[in-house]
Amino acid sequence: MDQLLIRTHNGLIQGYVQNGVRTWKAIPYAEPPVGERRFRKPLPARPWAGVRSGDMTVPLAPQRVNPTGGAFRLKRDQIPQSEDCLYVNVWAPDEPAPQPLPVMVWIHGGAFVTGGGGLPIYDGSELARRGGLIVVSLSYRLGPLGFTHFSPFSGESEDGYVSNAGLLDQIEALRWVKHNIAAFGGDPQQVTVFGESAGSMSIAALLAMPAAQGLFTRAIMQSGASQAISDSHGRLLTKGLLDILGIPEDQLERLQEVPAEEILRAADELKQAAGASAVMLFQPVVDGKLLPVTPLEAVAAGSAAGIEIIIGTNRDEGALFIPEGMPMLTKEQNARAYTAVTGSKEAASWIEAYPATVEGQRQAMTELFFWRSALQFAEAQLPHAAVWMYRYDYAMVPGDPLLGTAFHSAEIPFVFNNLDLLAGAGMPVNEEMRSVAECMQEAWTSFAKRGQPSTPSLPWPAYDAEERWTMVFGADSAVTRDPDADKRRMLTGGSDKRTT
């Protein structure tokens, strides 16, 4: 058998060489979640006859698409959308290695409502080629189709409508990796999951879910930590969605006949009714079974014992969400929003410390939502495994309202070292940017291969409760000791072991 024709448990798939690596795209890991399978748990993909082509495009899960292409100007409105979206892509070095290679599995972000594992910005070619490992990306159900809290309305049926369907998809994809990645040259005992935003929040949930135990050994969490709504909140949102669709709680089978576009429209209407200060409507829910408690509680209790973690945030996360000229929320709306997303009654007083300006509110979102949750998650995991903390500070285009900041998601093309894609979209790319990309990529792949991100050119000590070493990625990347210590203490209520 040649090096591109791979036998998986489901059948043969023919790969191809792209960008100097072997590539297999659109490999099904589960049955299509359509018709009677909509809103139900994923089932393993069925075997296929003959040889499947590995050069097909993975469709996006049904979603709303930004026609401008977003911050990186990478338009996706021409990519097909389909509920039949449960696929993985695999990249491997051009030459098979004598020993099984470590594996990195990417879980994409997008607020649990947009994105897809097949987007070009997530192409794993450079990671596989330069890192000498196997890279996998996965897609999962999104929005109301992936994160509606149906289990309380579905009775005791073993195969009824579920909650957290999108997380169950991710677990099924990781099971596929465990059972099949050896055929591509990967080591199923050395799997690192990495993800950004909702992808990182998904990893936090996976670390708390009993069904995900044993499916990965390390985790990299970029700009996202413990995020979940309560059972009661999830029930209210589900009831609201059903009311808009005109479907009684005892007639869920009617959902099978509703076009996906109509379900998306109902979700849009629900979001509009929820108001300007509403948090993400569709996200992981603490259902008491699949996700027994919040990810933060579970990790603090040792659910992820032994799993090493890199976790961090970007210096200007809020810049992506609060553009120049955006109307500011009222003081009351802000207080409600941050109380909801932080789960702390103190948030109403914290928000008072930030000016009611675009810059002030950007900083508030960065620190209260992203940085605070990352710090809490790191603290929770410290007794159970090694943790490394980072902050991404690099600004691609100084002076630009957005690209001149280290905005939410700005690190992604650097982690994947896909800067040529940005250049093709008309963005300026220089040698300094390429140096930052190589630095980050080397740290990420070192962690996946050796369990620690230090490299000969950039030592990176682990985070601890005394020194709180934090890697700051920028034009001159370096580790720093306990950045913004006073603010950290305020946000986490933490006390220091270190004597100052």
Active-site residue list: 197, 317, 408
Euclidean distance between CA atoms 171 and 408, whole angstroms: 26
What's the rounded Cα separation, in Å, for the pair 287 and 284? Answer: 9
Looking at the DSSP bridge assignments, the partners of residue 107 are 138, 195
Site of tokens 């034009």: 475
Percentages (nearest 5) of helix, strand, coil residues in the chain: 40, 20, 45
Closest CA to 314 of 135, 470, 156, 147: 470
Strands 5-7 and 12-14: antiparallel
Per-residue b or e along 156-186, where b marks 16 or more CB atoms closer than 10 Å to that residue's CB:
eeeeebbbbbbbbbbbbbbbbbbebbeebbb
Residue where the block lists tokens 């040649």: 2
Specify the pairing of strand 51-53 against strand 12-14: parallel
Q: Bridge partners of 471? A: 390, 479
DSSP string, 205-238: HHHH-GGGTTS-SEEEEES-----B-HHHHHHHH
> Cα separation of 199 and 452, whole Å?
21
Q: What three-state secondary structure class fits 470?
A: strand
CA angle 368–369–375, rounded 5-degree value: 80
Cα atoms found within 13 Å of the Cα of residue 233, Cβ hemisphere only? 16
Alpha carbon 123 to its chain centroid, in Å, reads 15
Nearest CA among 372, 371, 383, 389 for reference residue 309? 389
Please measure the distance between the N-terminal and C-terminal CA atoms of the chain and give it in whole angstroms: 64
Query: Distance between CA atoms of 67 and 63, rounded to whole angstroms?
Result: 12
The token pair at 79 is 């990519």
